[in-house]
Structure 1
Amino acid sequence: MQDKPNQLKVGLVQQAVSSNNKAENWQKSADFVRQLAAQGCECVLLQELHSTLYFCQNEDTNAFDLAETIPGPATEYFGQLAAELNIVLITSLFEKRASGLYHNTAVVFDRSADIAGQYRKMHIPDDPGFYEKFYFTPGDMGFNPIETSVGKLGVLVCWDQWYPEAARLMAMAGADILFYPTAIGWDLHDDNAEQQRQHDAWHTIQRAHAVANSVPVIVANRTGYEASPDASESDDKHGIQFWGQSFIAGPQGEVLAHAEVDKEQTLMVALDMSRTESVKRIWPYFRDRRIDAYDELTKRWRS
């Protein structure tokens, strides 16, 4: 493995999806990734389930046809892209592990078509419009950073981003950066005030993971409106308005770059990786953790 750089140009792609045409969606993603690579970006994050529409808005057994094996067509395509551009690339796909066994899986490539590592989403939501428990088995690979030429990458997926335990365990295993491929948006029946509260909570919790663990956080979200498969043509609120607003935060939670709500775009930041060590010396959270008093964290609830 190469020595980790002190300066790392890291980027993300915020993309809208309008169909289940994987070839078109992959090409669009690749075009954005090439733009970032042309600017010197060395590590790029794609959003959650970027190959297709967000199919979890309802429960439909036909949607399992969208899943792929690993390795498979998606990993071959994006592996070749990472090798061509000499970058670290973090992708997301609907994994068919076996008949009747599926995962929401992130796959990482390290300047090569070979898979450097993968992570299976651990926390699986089951809410109106986000019926993921119907499709995904919870991950069984634990919280282990993936070794790459740019450092140890703590890759988590969407609903994982609400759990401080997941971020902490990745950081405790030496993750240099936390990455969150995401697909989150608004229920258009909620009023503006509720929508703003939801977004603010999402933004705050992830910046807090950066603060509590003294590591940068990279978040790539979808943008655009995706109608529910159950919607009628006259119902323009039966779906999800993905709120975009992907962002990159530094190790004190400072926002270094922020995308718009409704625009396909890329973000790139040159991270000073030496700051993590400096911040940890000033804010020694790991030193002062009372691990002797945390046993009950492994319980579901304290009664």
Structure 2
Amino acid sequence: MQNNKHILKVGLVQASVSSNDKHLNWQRSAEEVRLLAQQGVECILLQELHSTLYFCQEENVDTFDLAEPIPGEATAFFGSLAAECGVVLITSLFEKRASGLYHNTAVVFDKSTEIAGMYRKMHIPDDPGFYEKFYFTPGDLGFEPIKTSIGNLGVLVCWDQWYPEAARLMAMNGADILFYPTAIGWDERDSADEKQRQQGAWETIQRAHAVANSVPVVVANRVGFEASPISGDPGINFWGHSFVAGPQGEILAMASDAEEAQLIVDIDMTRTEDVKRIWPYFRDRRIDAYNEINKRWGS
């Protein structure tokens, strides 16, 4: 075991959203970021699409008006915030890349107004209440960690969190920590048992990514009920439950299912390196036998 500890203080924001007033929501996020920075947090994760309500509950062409160019007003705001607070800030924006071309994009700032890097969501769901394929083009930036002053950040977004391939490729490319800005919740028509199974699976798969890749995982989910604009649709009760897990999947902190929250965690990055030495998964991978993984289905 190594003697000199490298401690990284990370924070996340779990918030509810009640309107599409982007400027109001940005100011609310800024207040949370400032509070975390005042407590010595070095890296802060905001939840998925935190500028607005979760608009993917319906397919509506007018909703594209909510998208932001990158760079643009949103990145100018959050870049200035990161510079002011001296933090690494991970944001999540509805990106207008070009006319008719939109992405679900995470943007990272490294204590500066300059963009340190971006990640465009790769896996795009299309389910009742989550009609994201209508809005988002799949990402084309690959699974490349974003280099910052505190390390290499493996940023993935929501539906990406269910795919071990995404976590593995980020880790293989040098990610020190995995971050998942998220917007997931319950359909109120489901039974209580089904709700718990869904949430349990969501937590388990991400803790498994921590274990399989020997890296900490930081997850920020939104919280609270958001009504559907579709008549008769039950809306989504976002289940919060944001958490930070260590490199063996151990829970270091967890927020509630129903309340807004901030989490602050000291992550021992030296221990992360020790875990990789004790459990050498990357040493023992049979890369000569994995060609079939590139197929849609096996034989």
TM-score (norm 2): 0.98
Question: In the alignment, which of 222, 231, 236 is matched to residue 240 of structure 1?
Answer: 236
Question: In the alignment, which of 217, 227, 252 is matched to residue 256 of structure 1?
Answer: 252
Alignment pair present for 1:95 and 2:95: yes
Alignment pair present for 1:274 and 2:270: yes
Alignment pair present for 1:34 and 2:5: no
The match for 2:195 is 195
TM-fit CA distance, 1:262: 1.1
Amino acid corresponding to residue 66 of structure 1 in structure 2: L
Question: In the alignment, which of 282, 288, 293 is matched to residue 286 of structure 1?
Answer: 282
CA RMSD of aligned residues (A): 0.8
The match for 1:73 is 73
> Aligned partners of 2:58 and 2:44: how far apart in 1?
30
TM-fit CA distance, 1:238: 1.4
TM-score (norm 1): 0.96
Alignment pair present for 1:172 and 2:168: no
The match for 1:299 is 295
Amino acid corresponding to residue 289 of structure 1 in structure 2: R
Q: Secondary structure at the match of 1:229?
A: coil
1:45-71 CA distance string (max 9 Å, x none):
000000000000010000000001001
Instruction: Give unpaired runs (5+ residues) of structure 1.
Output: none
Q: Percent identity?
A: 75
> Aligned partners of 2:71 and 2:276: how far apart in 1?
38
> Aligned partners of 2:125 and 2:210: how far apart in 1?
23
TM-fit CA distance, 1:299: 0.3
1:204-240 CA distance string (max 9 Å, x none):
0000000000000000000000001113xxx6x6100
Aligned residues: 295
1:275-294 CA distance string (max 9 Å, x none):
11100111000001000000
User: 27-36 vs 217-226, which deviates more?
Assistant: 27-36
> Aligned partners of 1:230 and 1:130: how far apart in 2?
13
- Runs of 4+ aligned residues of structure 1 deviating over 6 Å after TM superposition are none
Alignment pair present for 1:220 and 2:216: no
The match for 1:140 is 140
TM-fit CA distance, 1:27: 0.9
> Aligned partners of 1:31 and 1:49: how far apart in 2?
17
TM-fit CA distance, 1:16: 0.2
> Aligned partners of 2:180 and 2:247: how far apart in 1?
15
> Aligned partners of 2:217 and 2:142: how far apart in 1?
19
Amino acid corresponding to residue 279 of structure 1 in structure 2: V
Q: Secondary structure at the match of 1:219?
A: strand
Alignment pair present for 1:61 and 2:57: no
